[in-house]
Amino acid sequence: MGAPFSNPVAEAVPFDGSDQVPPFVAGNTKDAIIEARETAFGIKARFAAISAFKGIATSRFLQFFKGISSNAVPFILAEDASIKALSIAVRFDTTATVTLFVNGGGVEIITITAAKQATKKNLNIVLSEGDRLSARVTLGTMRDPVFSTFIQVDV
């Protein structure tokens, strides 16, 4: 590195995280970054599995893939994970319920009441590699429903 620094800044600046829980101190910022990367735990990646239906949905399975019922072709988990939240959005105010199925059994519902959207948080539905997800409007009628299942994978 050229003037005015004789050493790269990341190798010259101490890192003081002594006020953190747990405390973390390193002789320089570069070492702190490397150590944090190599010892990181509990990193949680989230993604949404989105199913929908274009049109009026009454007692029908939603689709992860256009034109194919999630009952016929479900969303397959590639690794262990857990469901943390659900959301539903529709074109017009409605009152209806969507049921989330895991391996063919209903495990959770979300109800939208005289509105265009609803959310359900703080869930912890444990899933295993190979589990199959599907979603169905089980009560009422929805116009153009979009149902999102928020899945967390520990990496």
DSSP string computed for 118-143: EEE-S--EEE-TT-EEEEEEEESEEE
Question: Average of pLDDT values for 39-50?
Answer: 78
| pLDDT tens string 119-151 | 999 999 999 999 999 999 999 999 999 999 999
- Tell whether 20 and 86 lie within a shared domain: no
Q: Does residue 4 fall inside a structural domain?
A: no
- Tell whether 35 and 89 lie within a shared domain: no
- Tell whether 54 and 130 lie within a shared domain: yes
**How far is 143 from 8, CA to CA, in rounded Å?**
59
User: Residue 105 gets which letter from DSSP?
Assistant: E
**How far is 77 from 81, CA to CA, in rounded Å?**
8
- Tell whether 18 and 90 lie within a shared domain: no
Q: What is the dihedral of CA 117, 122, 125, 129, to 10 degrees?
A: 90
Between 78 and 5, residue with greater pLDDT: 78
- Tell whether 52 and 33 lie within a shared domain: no
Decide: 149 and 86 in contact? Cβ < 8 Å. Answer: yes
Compute CA distances 101 → 19, 70, 86, 112, 131, whole Å: 45, 10, 12, 18, 10
- Tell whether 94 and 58 lie within a shared domain: yes
| pLDDT tens string 9-35 | 556 566 676 777 667 677 777 776 777
> Which percentage of the chain shows pLDDT scores above 90?
68
CATH code, 117: 2.60.120.40
- Tell whether 27 and 92 lie within a shared domain: no
Question: Average of pLDDT values for 26-51?
Answer: 74
* Domain enclosing residue 35, as ranges: 9-39
Question: HSE (CB half, 13 Å, CA atoms) of 137?
Answer: 28
Structural element, H or E, at residue 31: helix 29-39
Q: Does residue 119 fall inside a structural domain?
A: yes
- Residue 121 has a pLDDT of 95
Q: What residues contact residue 20 under an 8 Å CB cut-off, 6+ apart?
A: none
- Tell whether 143 and 95 lie within a shared domain: yes
Q: Does residue 2 fall inside a structural domain?
A: no
Q: Does residue 143 fall inside a structural domain?
A: yes
Domain total in the chain = 2
